[in-house]
C-alpha cells in the first residue's frame, strides 16, 4: 500500500543521499570500482583501454543521474517537447565532451594522475561513433549539444546502426572501404532499454471494414520487426539538463513466426527471424545522392514508426485526447529522410485512434517542420510507387489522398494549369511512377527551412519555385551553426584558455557573441604573441599526428593549407590539386635565387568518397599520385608537401582544425547549401580561402572581405556562364596542368583520362577552368599575408572574434522561437 511505498522511498533517500561527489578520492574509487566490477579486470592490473572503460563508466553514472532528474522534472512540467528526427548523427567521441559539459574535467584529470594515468591518453582510446556521412549528420550532433545546453525539452531519435560509416584505407593511393563494426568493444555511452520496444510492421494488404457504421481501413501486415531503444544521454554545458538521443535497433519479433515454427523447420525458422536485424545493420554511405533501395526505405519506416509509437505513448500518458497534441509536440524532419512520419501520423490517428480525416489533417498540418539540406533537384528523394505500395500499402493510400486534396486546392487557385499541377504533384508520373518525398513534406509541414540565406534564395527561385509562390510564408532559413563546446573547448584547450584569460570570463562558452570582445585586442602585441604560441603548439601536434599516420615529416613553420570534407566534384578537391600541381610546376621552373621568396606550404587533404562514386575515387588517387611526385622531388624539399590524411572523421577533425593556418571551402557557387566545416576553422582562428557560396557569404558579412581570401564566380555569374555555354574564359595555366595529368606526368594515364574529361572545355560543369586564375590569385594573396605574421595573426584573431554568429546556439534559439514554438525548461540544480 501507500505506506509501504513511502517507507521504501524513505529508505532509498537514505541510501542515495544527494548527488554523486566529484572530489578526487571519490572519482578514483569510482573508476577502480568500475575496472574491478564492470570491466571485470583486476584493479591491480589493467591497461589503458580498460582504464578508459572504467573511467567512462564512472562518467556515465554521472550522466545517468542528471538524465533521470531532467526526465522527472520534464514529466512534471509537461512542456511542449521537440522531437528531432534524423537518420544520421555523427557524435564522434563522447568522453571529453561529457566531462567538460559536466564541469568535472579537471577533477577527473587529477584523479587519474594520482592513479598514474593521463586523461588525454585515455581519451585517445575511444573510437568514433560514426552513424552519419558528413555535414548533415554532424550538424545534428551539434544541435543536440545546443538543445541540451540551452535547456530545451528535446529528444533526438535515430537508428542504432551496427556498422557506422566505412573506414577508409588507402592502398597504393586507392581508397578501400572497411566495415566499421563499432560496437565490438562495447559502448559505455548507451543504455539498452529492453523494455522500451515496439513492433514495426511491413508488407501485407489493406482491408476495408465497417465498424460501428463507419468505413475503416485495416492494414493486415505481412512482417513484424521489433524496435528496441538504446538511450544516449546528451549533457548540456553549465546546466543540469541532460537530454536523450534514442536510437532504435531492429530485433526479431515474437509476435509472428508461429506458422513457420509449426512447419517443423526449426533451424530455418530461427535463421529467418535473425534477418530482422539487417534493418538497422548499416548506414548508407552515400552523401547527397539518393538510391531507391528497399532496405533504405525499410530503415526509414522502421525508425519513423518506432519513434512515433514512443512519442504518442508519452503524450497519452498525460493526455486523454489529441486536441492538444500540437501544443505539446513539435516534430522536426532532418531533410526528407524521415518524411514517412507524415503519412504514419495520419494512419495512426485515423486507423488506430479513430479520428476522422479532417481532424487528423488539422493536427498533422500543425506539428511538422522540415529542414532542407539539398540544393539540386537530383538530390531529392523519390520512392517508386510500386516499392512503397508493396512495403507500406496503407501509407500509399494516404499519400494519394493527401495529393488528391492538394491538387483540388491547387485547381481552385490556378485552374487547370496542368504543367504546374504536374510539377507540384506529390506523385511523379512517367515510365516509373514515383512519390516525391520533398513535395509530400512541403505540403504537410507548417515551416520549411533552408540552411543559409543563399540556400533559401536558391530554393525559392529554383527547386521549390512553385511551392514558394503558393505558400511564401512557409519558407524560412536558419543559417547552420556548430557547437563551440566541441569545436573550441574540447578540441582546442590552449585557445579556449587564452580566450577566457583575455575576455576575463569563460561565459563565451554559453554565449558566443562575447567573442566580439577580442576585436579590441586584435593588434595587442602580447595577445598576438600568445595567439601565435597557441597556434604553433597545435601545429606541432598536427605534424606529430601526420608523422604517426603516414610516416612523413612536415615542418610546423610552413603554412598548413587544409581541405577536409567528403570528396565531391562540386566541392572541387580537383581544383585544389590542380592548383598544387601549378605551384609545383612554378617552383620547379624557378631560378634557385627566387626560391627564397616561396612561402613553404604543407597542403593537407582528407575525406571519404562514396564507395560507388568513381570520379571521387579518382580524385583521391590523383592526390596520392601528385603527392608521390612532389614529396620525393629534391628540387622542392620543404617548399611544398602534399599530405592525404586517411580515414577522415570527427576525431581527426578535432586535431586537424586547430592546427591549420588556411582552409579551403571552394565549391562552385550555388552548390553548397551551407557548409559547416568553415565555421569550425573560423572559430579556431584559421583563415578561409573560399568562394561566395552557402554560409561563406554570411561569414564575409561578419568578419569582412579583407580578413579572408575570396575568389571565383558568384552565383549569378555561374548561372550566366552555364546559360552562355561553358568555358568562356579559360587560362593557359589551367590547360597546362590538366595536360600534365592527361599525358601521364603523374602516371596512371589511362585511369585519369575520365577525370580529366570532366574539366575539359565543354564539359566543365563545375567551372574549374573558369575559376582557376582567380583561385591562383587568392592563393598568392594568402602567401603574401602569411609573410607578414603580425598581419596574419590579426586576421586570425578577427576570425575567431567574428565567429559568434556561427554557434549552433544561435541557430537553435531561432528554430525554437520561430519554427518549433518551444521554451527552455531548466531542471533545478
Residue 285 interacts with ligand TH1 (CB under 6 A)? no
From 676, 678, 691, 779, residue interacting with ligand TH1 (rule: CB under 6 A)? 676
Cβ(481)–Cβ(678) below 8 Å: no
In angstroms, what is the minimal distance from the CB of 426 to ligand TH1?
19
Considering the complex, state which of residue 28 and residue 479 has its C-beta at the smaller distance from ligand TH1.
479
Considering the complex, state which of residue 672 and residue 764 has its C-beta at the smaller distance from ligand TH1.
672
Considering the complex, state which of residue 92 and residue 493 has its C-beta at the smaller distance from ligand TH1.
92
From 62, 273, 288, 347, residue interacting with ligand TH1 (rule: CB under 6 A)? 288
In whole angstroms, what is the distance from residue 291 CA to residue 299 CA? Answer: 13
Cβ(84)–Cβ(155) below 8 Å: yes
In whole angstroms, what is the distance from residue 161 CA to residue 182 CA? Answer: 9
Say how many C-beta atoms besides its own lie within 10 A of residue 525's C-beta. Answer: 10
Active-site residue, selected from the candidate residues 41, 62, 337, 373:
373
Considering the complex, state which of residue 690 and residue 785 has its C-beta at the smaller distance from ligand TH1.
690
In angstroms, what is the minimal distance from the CB of 698 to ligand TH1?
12
φ/ψ of residue 133, rounded to 5: -95, -55
Active-site residue, selected from the candidate residues 565, 568, 582, 617:
565
Burial of 356 (0-12, 13-18, 19+ CB in 10 A): exposed
From 136, 456, 567, 692, residue interacting with ligand TH1 (rule: CB under 6 A)? 136
The answer for residues whose C-beta is within 8 angstroms of residue 744's C-beta and 6 or more apart is: none
In angstroms, what is the minimal distance from the CB of 636 to ligand TH1?
35
Q: What's the Cα-to-Cα distance from 98 to each of 117, 231, 241, rounded to whole Å? A: 19, 15, 12
Beta strands in 445-558 (DSSP E): 447-450, 475-477
The answer for residues whose C-beta is within 8 angstroms of residue 223's C-beta and 6 or more apart is: 201, 202, 203, 204, 256
Burial of 790 (0-12, 13-18, 19+ CB in 10 A): exposed
Residue 674 interacts with ligand TH1 (CB under 6 A)? yes
Residue 565 interacts with ligand TH1 (CB under 6 A)? no
Cβ(215)–Cβ(208) below 8 Å: yes
Active-site residue, selected from the candidate residues 149, 483, 668, 676:
676
Considering the complex, state which of residue 373 and residue 395 has its C-beta at the smaller distance from ligand TH1.
373
Residue 233 interacts with ligand TH1 (CB under 6 A)? no
Using Cβ positions, the residue closest to ligand TH1 within the complex turns out to be 135
* Total residue count of the chain as it appears in this document: 829
Of 127-135, 189-197, 528-536, 807-815: span binding ligand TH1 (CB under 6 A): 127-135
In angstroms, what is the minimal distance from the CB of 375 to ligand TH1?
7
Active site residue 800: no
Cβ(164)–Cβ(827) below 8 Å: no
Helices 614-631 and 749-757 cross at an angle (nearest 10°) of 120
From 481, 627, 675, 685, residue interacting with ligand TH1 (rule: CB under 6 A)? 675
In angstroms, what is the minimal distance from the CB of 424 to ligand TH1?
21
Active-site residue, selected from the candidate residues 93, 478, 566, 671:
566
Considering the complex, state which of residue 303 and residue 734 has its C-beta at the smaller distance from ligand TH1.
303
From 93, 160, 373, 601, residue interacting with ligand TH1 (rule: CB under 6 A)? 373
Active-site residue, selected from the candidate residues 41, 680, 794, 810:
680
| Number of residues lying near ligand TH1 (CB under 6 A) | 19
Which of 283, 385, 391 has its CA nearest to residue 337? 283
Active site residue 676: yes
Residue 162 interacts with ligand TH1 (CB under 6 A)? no
User: In degrees, to the nearest 5, what angle opens at C-alpha 233 toward C-alphas 230 and 237?
Assistant: 165
Considering the complex, state which of residue 253 and residue 811 has its C-beta at the smaller distance from ligand TH1.
811
Q: What is the CA radius of gyration of the chain?
A: 28
What is the per-residue binding string for ligand TH1 in 375-394, x denoting contact by CB under 6 A?
A: ----x---------------
Considering the complex, state which of residue 137 and residue 626 has its C-beta at the smaller distance from ligand TH1.
137
The DSSP secondary-structure symbol of 331 reads: E
Residue 287 interacts with ligand TH1 (CB under 6 A)? yes
What is the per-residue binding string for ligand TH1 in 614-653, x denoting contact by CB under 6 A?
A: ----------------------------------------
Which of 82, 109, 81, 84 has its CA nearest to residue 95? 109
Of 248-256, 407-415, 495-503, 673-681: span binding ligand TH1 (CB under 6 A): 673-681
Which of 451, 370, 448, 482 has its CA nearest to residue 809? 482
Active site residue 75: no
Which of 476, 340, 441 has its CA nearest to residue 395? 340
Residue 156 interacts with ligand TH1 (CB under 6 A)? no
Considering the complex, state which of residue 34 and residue 373 has its C-beta at the smaller distance from ligand TH1.
373
Residue 672 interacts with ligand TH1 (CB under 6 A)? yes
From 232, 480, 649, 660, residue interacting with ligand TH1 (rule: CB under 6 A)? 480
Of 50-58, 133-141, 492-500, 550-558: span binding ligand TH1 (CB under 6 A): 133-141
Which of 668, 577, 579 has its CA nearest to residue 620? 577
In angstroms, what is the minimal distance from the CB of 557 to ligand TH1?
33
Of 102-110, 135-143, 351-359, 756-764: span binding ligand TH1 (CB under 6 A): 135-143
Of 634-642, 667-675, 722-730, 798-806: span binding ligand TH1 (CB under 6 A): 667-675
What is the per-residue binding string for ligand TH1 in 686-725, x denoting contact by CB under 6 A?
A: --------x-------------------------------
Residue 673 interacts with ligand TH1 (CB under 6 A)? yes
Cβ(89)–Cβ(141) below 8 Å: yes
In whole angstroms, what is the distance from residue 452 CA to residue 673 CA? Answer: 7
Residue 153 interacts with ligand TH1 (CB under 6 A)? no
Residues 417-456 interacting with ligand TH1 (rule: CB under 6 A): 451
Which of 508, 486, 490, 487 has its CA nearest to residue 499? 508
Helices 48-77 and 105-114 cross at an angle (nearest 10°) of 150
Which of 622, 573, 630 has its CA nearest to residue 753? 622
Which of 149, 670, 710 has its CA nearest to residue 450? 670
Of 500-508, 651-659, 669-677, 700-708: span binding ligand TH1 (CB under 6 A): 669-677
User: In degrees, to the nearest 5, what angle opens at C-alpha 397 toward C-alphas 391 and 402?
Assistant: 125
In whole angstroms, what is the distance from residue 650 CA to residue 565 CA? Answer: 10
φ/ψ of residue 724, rounded to 5: -90, 15
Residue 139 interacts with ligand TH1 (CB under 6 A)? yes
Helix, coil or strand: residue 706: helix
In angstroms, what is the minimal distance from the CB of 828 to ligand TH1?
35
Cβ(155)–Cβ(244) below 8 Å: yes
What is the per-residue binding string for ligand TH1 in 330-349, x denoting contact by CB under 6 A?
A: -----x--------------
Cell numbers 592527361: residue = 742
φ/ψ of residue 131, rounded to 5: -90, 45
Q: Which residues are catalytic?
A: 373, 565-566, 571, 676, 680
Binding site for ligand TH1 (CB under 6 A): 133-136, 139, 287-288, 335, 373-374, 379, 451, 480, 672-676, 694
Amino acid at each position: 500500500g501507500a505506506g509501504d511505498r513511502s517507507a521504501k522511498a524513505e529508505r532509498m533517500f537514505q541510501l542515495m543521499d544527494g548527488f554523486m561527489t566529484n572530489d578526487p578520492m571519490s572519482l578514483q574509487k569510482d573508476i577502480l570500482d568500475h575496472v574491478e566490477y564492470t570491466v571485470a579486470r583486476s584493479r591491480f592490473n589493467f591497461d589503458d583501454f580498460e582504464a578508459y572503460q572504467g573511467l567512462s563508466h564512472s562518467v556515465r553514472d554521472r550522466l545517468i543521474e542528471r538524465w533521470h532528474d531532467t526526465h522527472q522534472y520534464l514529466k512534471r512540467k509537461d512542456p511542449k517537447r521537440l522531437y528531432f528526427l534524423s537518420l544520421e548523427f555523427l557524435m564522434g567521441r563522447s568522453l571529453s565532451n561529457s566531462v567538460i559539459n559536466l564541469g568535472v574535467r579537471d577533477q577527473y584529470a587529477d584523479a587519474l594522475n594520482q592513479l598514474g594515468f593521463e586523461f588525454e591518453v585515455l581519451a585517445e582510446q575511444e573510437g568514433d561513433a560514426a552513424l552519419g556521412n558528413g555535414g548533415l549528420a554532424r550538424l545534428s550532433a551539434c544541435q543536440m549539444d545546443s538543445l541540451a545546453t540551452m535547456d530545451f525539452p528535446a529528444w533526438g531519435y535515430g537508428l542504432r546502426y551496427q556498422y557506422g560509416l566505412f573506414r577508409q584505407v588507402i592502398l597504393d593511393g586507392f581508397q578501400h572501404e572497411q566495415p566499421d563494426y563499432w560496437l565490438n568493444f562495447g559502448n559505455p555511452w548507451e543504455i539498452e532499454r529492453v523494455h522500451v520496444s515496439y513492433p514495426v510492421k511491413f508488407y501485407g494488404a489493406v482491408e476495408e471494414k465497417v465498424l460501428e457504421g463507419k468505413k475503416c481501413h485495416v492494414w493486415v501486415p505481412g512482417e513484424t520487426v521489433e524496435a528496441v531503444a538504446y538511450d544516449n544521454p546528451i549533457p548540456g554545458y553549465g546546466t543540469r539538463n541532460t537530454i536523450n538521443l534514442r536510437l532504435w535497433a531492429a530485433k526479431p519479433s515474437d509476435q509472428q513466426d508461429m506458422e513457420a515454427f509449426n512447419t517443423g523447420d526449426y533451424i530455418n525458422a530461427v535463421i529467418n527471424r535473425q534477418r530482422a536485424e539487417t534493418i538497422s545493420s548499416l548506414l548508407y554511405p552515400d552523401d547527397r545522392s539518393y538510391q531507391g533501395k528497399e532496405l533504405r526505405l525499410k530503415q526509414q519506416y522502421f525508425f519513423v514508426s518506432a519513434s512515433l509509437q514512443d512519442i504518442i505513448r508519452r503524450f497519452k500518458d498525460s493526455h486523454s485526447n489529441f486536441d492538444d497534441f500540437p501544443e505539446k509536440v513539435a516534430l522536426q524532419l532532418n531533410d526528407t529522410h524521415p518524411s514517412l512520419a507524415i503519412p504514419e501520423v495520419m494512419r495512426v490517428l485515423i486507423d488506430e485512434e479513430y479520428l476522422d480525416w479532417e481532424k487528423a489533417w488539422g493536427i498533422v498540418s500543425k506539428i511538422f517542420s522540415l529542414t532542407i539540406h539539398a540544393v539540386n533537384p537530383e538530390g531529392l528523394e523519390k520512392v517508386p510507387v510500386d516499392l512503397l505500395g508493396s512495403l507500406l500499402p496503407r501509407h500509399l493510400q494516404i499519400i494519394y489522398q493527401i495529393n488528391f486534396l492538394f491538387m483540388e486546392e491547387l485547381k481552385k487557385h490556378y485552374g487547370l494549369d496542368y504543367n504546374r499541377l504536374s510539377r507540384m504533384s506529390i506523385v511523379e508520373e512517367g515510365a516509373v511512377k514515383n512519390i516525391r518525398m520533398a513535395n509530400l513534406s512541403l505540403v504537410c509541414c507548417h515551416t520549411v527551412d533552408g540552411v543559409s540565406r543563399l540556400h533559401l534564395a536558391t530554393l525559392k527561385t529554383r527547386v521549390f519555385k512553385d511551392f514558394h509562390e503558393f505558400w511564401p510564408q512557409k519558407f524560412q532559413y536558419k543559417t547552420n551553426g556548430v557547437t563551440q563546446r566541441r569545436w573550441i573547448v574540447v578540441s582546442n584547450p590552449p585557445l579556449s584558455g587564452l580566450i577566457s584569460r583575455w575576455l576575463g570570463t569563460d561565459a563565451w562558452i554559453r554565449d558566443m557573441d562575447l567573442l566580439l570582445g577580442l576585436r579590441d585586442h586584435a593588434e595587442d602585441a602580447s595577445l598576438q604573441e600568445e595567439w601565435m604560441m597557441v597556434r604553433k603548439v597545435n601545429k606541432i601536434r598536427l605534424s606529430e599526428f601526420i608523422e604517426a599516420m603516414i610516416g612523413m615529416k612536415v615542418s610546423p613553420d610552413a603554412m598548413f593549407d587544409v581541405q577536409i570534407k567528403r570528396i565531391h566534384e562540386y566541392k572541387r578537391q580537383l581544383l585544389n590539386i590542380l592548383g598544387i600541381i601549378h605551384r609545383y610546376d612554378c617552383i620547379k621552373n624557378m631560378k634557385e635565387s627566387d626560391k627564397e621568396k616561396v612561402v613553404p606550404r604543407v597542403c593537407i587533404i582528407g575525406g571519404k568518397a562514396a564507395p560507388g562514386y568513381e570520379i571521387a575515387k579518382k580524385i583521391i588517387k590523383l592526390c596520392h599520385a601528385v603527392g608521390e611526385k612532389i614529396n620525393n622531388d629534391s628540387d622542392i624539399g620543404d617548399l611544398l608537401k602534399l599530405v592525404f590524411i586517411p580515414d577522415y572523421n570527427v576525431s581527426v577533425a578535432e586535431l586537424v582544425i586547430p592546427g591549420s593556418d588556411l582552409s579551403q571551402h571552394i565549391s562552385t557557387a550555388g552548390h553548397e547549401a551551407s557548409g559547416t566545416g568553415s565555421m569550425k576553422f573560423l572559430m579556431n582562428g584559421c583563415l578561409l580561402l573560399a568562394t561566395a557560396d552557402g554560409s561563406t557569404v554570411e561569414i564575409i558579412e561578419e568578419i569582412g572581405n579583407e580578413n579572408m581570401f575570396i575568389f571565383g564566380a558568384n552565383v549569378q555569374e555561374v548561372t550566366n556562364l552555364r546559360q552562355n555555354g561553358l568555358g568562356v574564359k579559360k587560362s593557359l595555366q589551367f590547360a597546362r596542368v590538366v595536360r600534365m595529368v592527361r599525358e601521364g606526368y603523374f602516371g596512371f594515364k589511362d585511369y585519369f583520362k575520365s577525370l580529366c574529361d570532366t574539366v575539359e572545355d565543354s564539359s566543365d560543369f563545375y567551372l574549374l577552368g573558369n575559376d582557376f586564375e582567380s583561385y591562383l590569385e587568392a592563393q598568392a594573396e594568402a602567401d603574401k599575408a602569411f609573410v607578414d605574421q603580425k598581419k596574419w595573426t590579426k586576421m586570425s584573431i578577427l576570425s575567431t572574434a567574428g565567429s559568434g554568429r556561427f554557434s549552433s546556439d544561435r541557430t537553435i534559439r531561432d528554430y525554437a522561437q520561430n519554427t518549433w514554438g518551444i521554451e527552455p525548461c531548466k531542471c533545478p540544480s
